[in-house]
Structure 1
Amino acid sequence: MHDQSRPVVHEPSRTPVSVLLDCDTGIDDALALLYLCSQPHVELVAVTSTPGNVDADQVAANNLALLQLCGRGDVPVAIGARAPLRIPLVTTPETHGPQGIGYAELPTASRAPEARGAVDLWVEAARARPGELTALITAPLTNFALALRAEPRLPELLAGVVIMGGAYYYQGNTTPTAEWNTHVDPHAAAEVFAAFAGQPEERLPIVCALETTERIEMHPEHVAALAEAAGCAAPELVLPDQPEGQRSTASNRLVKHVSDMLRFYFEFHRHYDQGYVAHVHDYFAASVAAGTARYAVRTATVHVEVDSPRLIGTTVADYRELWGERPNARIVSANHPQEAFAELIGSLASLARTVG
């Protein structure tokens, strides 16, 4: 029996990276997208839209609006699947709001999604630029599973893959054992991990699961620090004793929208007895894809449960080859929240000063 669980540490870097983002925007997806737009060394090749937090059309509308806010009308936005592979779609208006972006009211984008679908866009991009593109998926894995069906060589064509999803020997946030993204489309997740079995270690997906993403816990003081760093005219106070639904009056547009998104997210977490906080899972995954995070990973064989009604969407990691199966993932085992928030606040503040 071989113990493959010794952590491998990755240090931050600003090496240029080209990212294909698939998301289900979502407040924390929105932060992830804004963060990627704020990084000069990140080429955002395309943003594709998977149903999850909201339906696929609303996801695409959010992505287009956020890119317009950042002055990034050059980034293609496409819609992929409109439902999970085998089970009905379940969305989360209670978590992210009816439009997926909390209380924020973004101007409608002046352009529409691409005529071609997400899968075609991903496959064409990966074939055109072999070994150059990093896939970042902060949504259910539906579109990625369909892309792997269309082009089984994607594990070799992509430079890397980062996935936000799963919970390993850690309490789920949707059922007692299952994390949201994986629970929405467990069959897609199972297909994705199966597709990577036996790949060289450096090609295995890096998985940002709940045990590390819930450590990236945003507090009201982070919003205040963002507004101050962005040069807002007045302090931005998002506080637990304020009326629910209060709207930001920040002098900076980006700060105002981020504040309105996060207030909703803070309130949601408080309603579920987690405190006036926000777990910004997808930002952490974006920082891993961008190369700006310090973290450690452990190689594992991941199983996604798809048959048991009570355990559907549960992810289990074999770190010691007890199943005798080939590894298919590298799971993040350590991260650094204080560093993560210093990075996020500084970077978003710089973007906010640019867009006004």
Structure 2
Amino acid sequence: MTRPERSSVPLFVDVDTGIDDSLALLYLLASPEAEILTIASTGGNVPVAQVAANNLAWLDLCGRTDIEVTVGSPTPLRIPLRTTEDTHGPQGIGYAELPHSSRGPSDRSSARAWVEIARERPGSVTGLVTGPLTNLALALRLEPELPHLLKRLVVMGGVFNHPGNTTPTCEWNIFVDPEAAQEVFAAFSVVPADRRPLICPLDVTETIEMRPEHLRLLAQAAGSEPAELITEQDPPGTRSRTSNPIVRHLSDAVRFYLEFHRDHGQGFLAHMHDPFAAALALNPGLAVTRPATVDVELEGTLTRGTTVADWTGMWGRGPNADIAVGTDPAAFFDHLIERVGGFAARARFASPETR
């Protein structure tokens, strides 16, 4: 597994937080090279106001109240918002009950933040989107030069040679706002090969299987007690008793995700799509990639929202994305546990009653 560079990586983070988005945020907060410039909130797993509340709460818990949180559009570009509380829980963070933040989000919209930050630091910012692409599509309408202003774009979304997780052929983030995804992929067709968007699809992220043993090791790395022992035989909704607040809230969130996957016949595991995409934003060398021309089906009765990749140039259009096609999941989890566990061990918290 290629180790990430330690030089600073300025990041614009756009999320629909979400259980796996939550771990992605913790991973980035734990990464010394990640310079988080702002966190944009997109409706997806839960409505946008709840996403923003989740983002603020995680930042408060981790002592990073210096990071801005913005709010994006409450709806996709052309269709009503569909959310997935059955997958992520009523607040989007499973069984976790994070203290409500006393802070509010920024006055500027997420789309405006995309544009202003890219203009302030042209050629240096990596955009990371782990939810629907609505905010970025709106930002492109404000500033068509955005693909040239960003250093790179990393997107968790899509599925190519693998079953979908929302329809037989469709991945959730693209399904929520396929028009936005189509606009983004088209807009970024103009960038040179070394700045093509990096797409992290289900083909790879469904190999990133978090299991109870990973949570035990993470708690151990954080020096948290007692040992975090989650089993499939535990009553549904069992809450963590481990001492470290970050580990405890994360475990409560992930337990919901484990139960969801089990109840849908996938095993007592949790696909951690977004933390892997976050890791790729810092170090693209974590994945094997292939260039392709990507577009989104908008009209199909059975296939609306499907991402289609032309791997061989049949459309006569140049590649507009690099698609992750392989990685080393075991090495990734070793890296994740070391980072997040160490960060949780070092974190300083407010009084126990509030955390």
Q: TM-score, normalised by structure 2?
A: 0.96
Identity among equivalent positions (%) equals: 53
1:154 alignment partner in structure 2 = 146
2:160 maps to which of 152, 156, 168: 168
Residues 147 and 190, structure 2, Cα contact 8 Å, conserved in 1: no
In structure 2, C-alpha distance between the alignment counterparts of 1:226 and 1:69, rounded to whole Å: 17
Q: Which amino acid aligns with 2:35?
A: E
The match for 2:351 is none
Q: Distance in 2 between matches of 1:60 and 1:186?
A: 22
Aligned to 1:294: 286
What residue is the counterpart of 1:352 in the other structure? Answer: 344
| 2: CA distance, partners of 1:116 / 1:294 | 34
**C-alpha contact (below 8 Å) 2:137/2:183 kept by paired residues:** yes
Separation of aligned partners in 2, 1:292 and 1:260: 30
Tell whether 2:197 aligns with 1:197.
no
Q: Does 1:279 align with 2:271?
A: yes
Question: Which amino acid in structure 1 is aligned with residue 310 of structure 2?
Answer: D
Deviations 1:289-348 (A, max 9, x none): 122762111111011011113111101101110110121111001111011101110111
Counterpart of 2:200 in structure 1 is 208
1:49 is aligned to: 41
Asked which structure has the greater RCO (Cα within 8 Å, sep 6+), the reply is 1
Structure 1 residue 264 corresponds to structure 2 residue 256: yes
> Which residue pairs with 2:77 in the alignment?
85
Q: Which amino acid aligns with 2:122?
A: P
Q: Is 1:178 aligned to residue 181 of structure 2?
A: no
Q: Which amino acid aligns with 2:308?
A: V
Q: Distance in 1 between matches of 2:204 and 2:69?
A: 29
Distance 1:15 1:212 in 2: 26
Q: How far apart are 1:155 and its partner, in Å?
A: 0.8
Post-superposition shift, 1:11? 6.2
Q: Does 1:131 align with 2:101?
A: no
C-alpha distance 210-314 of structure 1, shift in aligned 2 (>3 A): same
Secondary structure at 1:122 match in 2: helix
CA distance in 1, matches of 2:240, 2:131: 28
Runs of at least 5 residues in structure 2 that lack an aligned partner in the other structure: 349-355
Secondary structure at the counterpart of residue 294 of structure 2: strand
CA distance in 2, matches of 1:293, 1:213: 15
2:204–2:324 contact (8 Å) kept in structure 1: yes
Match of 2:223 in 1: 231
Would you say 1:37 and 2:56 are equivalent positions?
A: no
Deviation (angstroms), 1:355: 2.0
Q: Structure 1 stretches (4+) deviating beyond 4 angstroms?
A: none
Q: In structure 2, the residue corresponding to 1:139 is in which secondary structure?
A: coil
AA at the equivalent of 1:234: P
Q: Is the 8 A contact 1:198 1:327 kept in 2?
A: no
In the other structure, the counterpart of 1:327 is: 319
Contact 1:198 1:326 in 2 (8 A): no
CA distance in 2, matches of 1:277, 1:15: 33
How far off is 1:10 after superposition?
Answer: 7.2
Counterpart CA distance in 1 for 2:89 and 2:2 is: 35
Q: Are 1:164 and 1:281, in contact at CA under 8 Å, matched by a contact in 2? A: yes
Measure, in 2, the Cα distance between the counterparts of 1:176 and 1:170.
9
How many Å separate the matches in 1 of 2:282 and 2:61? 21
SS at match of 2:190: coil
**TM-aligned CA distance change 1:265 to 1:293, over 3 Å:** farther
Structure 1, 284-293 or 220-229: larger mean CA deviation: 284-293
Letter in 2 for 1:261: A
Is the Cα–Cα contact under 8 Å of residues 11 and 295 in structure 1 kept in the other structure?
Answer: no
- Secondary structure at the counterpart of residue 197 of structure 1: helix
How far apart, CA to CA, are the structure 2 residues paired with 1:50 and 1:35? Answer: 19
Whether the 8 Å contact between 2:40 and 2:110 is mirrored in structure 1 is yes
Residues in 2 aligned to 1:265 and 1:329: alpha-carbon distance in whole angstroms: 30
- Unpaired runs of 5+ in structure 1? 1-8
Question: Match of 2:155, as an amino acid?
Answer: I
